[in-house]
Amino acid sequence: MARLLVLLVLTGIVDSSFVKPCRHYVNKVTCRGNISKYLTKNYLTRQTSFINILEFKNTDISSLEGEWTEGIINLTQLVINFNDNLNNLSRDSLKNFKNLSHLDLKNNNISFLDNIAFHPMINLEYLNLGYNKLHQMQTGVFSTQQRLKILYLNNNMIKEVNSVALNSLLNLEELYLQENGLVKLDGRCFMSLEKLRILNLGKNDLRQLSVTLFQYQIHLKELHLDENNFTEIKPLLLSHLDHIQYLNFRNNNIQTLDLGILKKLSDLRILDMSECHISCDCSAKIFYQYCNERSIHLDLTCKLSKSGTYINGSDYLPQMDCSIVDKPRLELLIILGLLFISLLVDIFVSWMNYKYDLSTHRALSTESVNEYEYVDNFKDLEEKAYKISGVRDSGRYQSVLQKVISVYEYLRPLPGRRIHDDYYNTGSNPPIPLQTAPPIPPSNSYDISN
């Protein structure tokens, strides 16, 4: 075999440049191993102008140089996989692949993408960047990929997706973001992805999603939200997914099932709620029965209240007895009716007592105001207090009267009496002797008729 290969090389049937390390097939060239020393200018273009597929697998390349692929105009697929030394893509790495429609860059160590690295590939329809070390998506990195239909970004280190990273992918149909450690998704990050059919956000650290996140995904058919940290499912979050067929919430911290999440999902066929923290109660059975009526295949595991073990809900819930909830007996209805009537009577009696106390208080207040308003002398008020019928009212008048009279006696002395004789004995000025006061003239002293 080796002699035949040497003979083919010598006769020119097979080019010697593809003996090692690249292999040439009908319309494909595959390079493996230590090829970096062979990759010089025009190395791949001498006899590859007719190929459609170029592959670099398990090689020692650390970068992609544009001069390696000059002149390859018919290339439609480029596969670069399992290259541990490849850690970045510069702006010139892919400049010669203007007609490329399929680009596979998975299983490398790429941690940096130049924001114009993909700009020449305006016809790209498939892009796989999975299993790399990307930490973020630079703004504008996909700005010319308006024809892109499938994008893999899974198994990277992307923690957040902002509002503009994906806004140019107008024709994207499939997006895979699972196993990234995502903690935040901007509520507008999928706003331009109106043609999206498959979205995978599983195996991340998402706890809460904006209710507007899927507002424009009316054509979405598959949604994977498994293995996150959701504690509830908001019906408004899924209200716009009119054509969803597969919904996966497996292995989350969800504890309750809400029928509201299924009301508007008219095309739903498969719902995975397995490995969640749902109890095997009557609400779970009602949810299970509703899915059966809608012909929705439900995968559900629930927890038994006594033992705390998780079992398959499809086996347990159909046999669960919820008759007291489904069809209440007559005795239960009578008891509930009597409790309701007693509650109404209690409310009515309390209201009547309140109205009576309020009217009595108003009458007494009016009477008190009128009594004090038309009394001219406090002595008359004392006599009036004794005429009031009832011990409580008399006591009320007496207590008020004593305070009023005490103030009155102090501030308003009776005619002909000094306020306090002791005041003059303690003042700074000596009192005027009474005998020095002039006598009061007789009443006829001022008679001018004489």
The model carries a pTM of 0.69
Residue 218 is assigned to a structural domain of this protein: yes
How much is the pLDDT for 265? 94
Residue 400, pLDDT score: 56
More confident residue, 28 or 18: 28
Instruction: Flag whether pLDDT at 423 surpasses 60.
Output: no
Q: How is residue 17 written in tokens?
A: 């440049």
Residue with tokens 């000059």: 70
Q: What pLDDT is attached to residue 346?
A: 83
pLDDT band at 322 (very low <50, low <70, confident <90, very high): confident
Tell me the two tokens of residue 45: 């273009």
> What average pLDDT does the segment 93-98 reach?
87
Spatial separation of the C-alpha atoms in residues 75 and 195, rounded to whole Å: 28
In this prediction, residue 440 has a pLDDT band, given cuts at 50, 70 and 90, of: low
CATH number at 209 reads 3.80.10.10
Per-residue pLDDT band for 102 (boundaries 50, 70, 90) equals: very high
Give how far Cα 379 sits from Cα of 61, 76, 206, 386, Å. Answer: 117, 117, 84, 11
Question: How far from each other are the two terminal CA atoms of the chain, in whole angstroms?
Answer: 176
> Is there a domain that residue 72 lies in?
yes
| Residue 93 lies in domain | 25-326
Q: What is the pLDDT of residue 419?
A: 46
Note whether residue 223 is domain-resident: yes
Query: For 402, phi and psi rounded to 5 degrees?
Result: -60, -40
Residue 61 domain flag? yes
Amino acid 65: pLDDT: 81
Q: Does any domain span residue 316? A: yes
204-246 per-position pLDDT tens digit: 999 999 999 999 999 999 999 999 999 999 999 999 999 999 9
Residue 266 lies in a domain: yes
Stretch 161-172: mean pLDDT: 94
pLDDT averaged over every residue in the chain? 80
Task: Give the pLDDT score at 336.
Answer: 84
Question: What's the pLDDT band for 450 if we cut at 50, 70, 90?
Answer: very low
Is residue 429 situated within a structural domain?
no
Residue 422 resides in a domain: no
Backbone phi, psi, residue 128, to 5°? -120, 110
Query: Residue 118: left if φ>0, alpha if ψ -120 to 50, beta else—which one?
Result: alpha
Q: Measuring CA to CA, which residue among 272, 278, 276 is closest to residue 245?
A: 272
Long-range interactions of 134-139: CB distance < 8 A, separation 24+? 134/110, 134/158, 135/111, 135/159, 136/160, 137/113, 137/161, 137/162, 137/165, 137/166, 138/113, 138/114, 138/165, 139/115, 139/164, 139/165
The domain total for the chain is 1
Of the given ranges (35-44, 152-161, 275-284, 323-332), which has the lowest mean pLDDT? 323-332
* Digit-coded pLDDT (tens) for 349-406: 888 877 777 777 666 655 544 444 444 555 555 565 555 544 445 555 555 556 556 6
